[in-house]
Amino acid sequence: MPRRGDLGLLTSPGLTPFLACAVIAALSLVLVVRAVWRGALRGIVTRTREMAGSDESRRVVVLVVLMGVYVGLIGVVHYAVVTTAFLLASFLFVRAGGWATVVVATVVGVGLTAFVIPYAFTMPLP
């Protein structure tokens, strides 16, 4: 994939996502600073202890680890294979339905992202 367009940096494919990311990061920083100034850190230790023992927190940690492994494997393992494994693991972990539902959702998701969209929009996959 080309890193720069015909007119240089202004037409590069990563400019718009970079600008969006910069704006979101700046606005997030503003929100964090405002929250801290208004006392958001009071009681943080007790809330953290309550969250550490909850099932929801464990679920979030497992899903974040799954996403990290997925991101780490993209480009190393074929896209369709790693996406299939990620979707199957995620759907089964959150109990998104029975086996048939999970398999159909995975096949449709991988089929669209790995085979239909790249050819319809001539977009390369990682």
pLDDT digits (tens, 9 = 90+) for 95-115: 888 999 999 999 999 999 888
27-47 pLDDT tens trace: 999 999 999 999 888 888 888
Judge if pTM exceeds 0.75: no
Question: Angle at the Cα of 68 (from 57 to 122), degrees rounded to 5?
Answer: 130
Asked if 75 contacts 45 with a C-beta cutoff of 8 angstroms, the reply is no
Instruction: Answer whether residue 11 is part of any domain.
Output: yes
Q: Count of domains in the chain?
A: 2
Q: Which residues of 45-56 are buried (b: 16+ CB within 10 A; e: fewer)?
A: eeeeeeeeeeee
**Which residues span the domain enclosing 28?**
1-42
> Number of C-alpha atoms within 13 angstroms, CB side, residue 91?
19
Query: Looking at residue 119, what is its pLDDT?
Result: 82
Instruction: Answer whether residue 19 is part of any domain.
Output: yes
